[in-house]
Structure 1
């Protein structure tokens, strides 16, 4: 079980291993677990996770294309935080599991500026990369 407190994205000095070891541990944390019949659950599929990444990337691009990044971030912040509700809804529909929601909420909760939004996007990108590599095995 991963210690989600290791995901620190809103600091001046990012942990050295945030996009490597921590991202890899997060990817393992959200791997679908086999059910009682030994079959992998239908949660946390790549397409579902990609939807969350795409929306986070869209907010990132919107903020970073603006002349006033800080001002644009302030306008976008409530909608970025609303991604937590979207994750909860996806969990309720059986598309993602509690492990993904916990990790994703931690990522979104760490966002409090344009820079931390950039770090969150990069971290989630690294997680998806490690997850895809694990999926291919």
Structure 2
């Protein structure tokens, strides 16, 4: 299952996530099981896009985080807790409409955490691709938010096994 791909030819370089694997509008039987496990296993080995060299020798490379500072279980848990918080606060379309800007703001928090190398590029790509599926403040968007929370819950369970403390 090819979940992540890196494109170092863009400026800045990008890590992208295959969003077809995460259908939050209509989850298939594999989403909360096989897919969540595959993502957990992939994110258990953090990779960061880093700038190497200067001047003409400057280039981008995907570097494995040997110290595994990125994607620490406690950091991942903070994001999961916030997704749960918004899902709990958002039980109706009316409330969802008011909360959607703050839910989308979690992308900025993921970017900030990436800037501090607390999460890797793959986590940011996965997280933002899931949040990116929540586009409108209607019942469909609300279902996607709650399915994202359930996917994240399954992911956290598998992640604990893939990357214990």
TM-score range, shorter chain: 0.7 to 0.9
1:93 is aligned to 116
1:2 pairs with 2:15: no
- Over the aligned positions, Cα root-mean-square deviation in angstroms equals 2.3
Instruction: State how far apart, in whole Å, the 1-side matches of 2:65 and 2:85 are.
Output: 37
For the pair 1:21 / 2:34, whether they are aligned, the reply is yes
**What CA distance in whole angstroms lies between the structure 2 residues aligned with 1:10 and 1:85?**
23
Q: Which residue in 2 is equivalent to 1:125?
A: 153
1:70 paired with 2:98, answer no
- Tell me the matched-pair count: 131
Question: Secondary structure of 1:24's match?
Answer: helix
Distance 1:73 1:134, change over 3 A: same
Who wins on radius of gyration, i.e. which is larger? 2
| 1:111 CA displacement | 2.2
Q: 1:50 aligns with which of 54, 77, 88?
A: 77
Following superposition, the deviation at residue 38 of structure 1 comes to 8.5
Runs (4 or more) in structure 1 with deviation over 2 Å come to 32-41
Measured in 1, the distance between the counterparts of 2:47 and 2:88 equals: 36
Gaps of 5+ in 1: none
How many Å apart are 1:110 and its aligned residue?
A: 1.8
Unaligned 5+ residue runs, structure 2? Answer: 5-17, 49-62, 136-140
Q: Which has the higher strand share?
A: 2
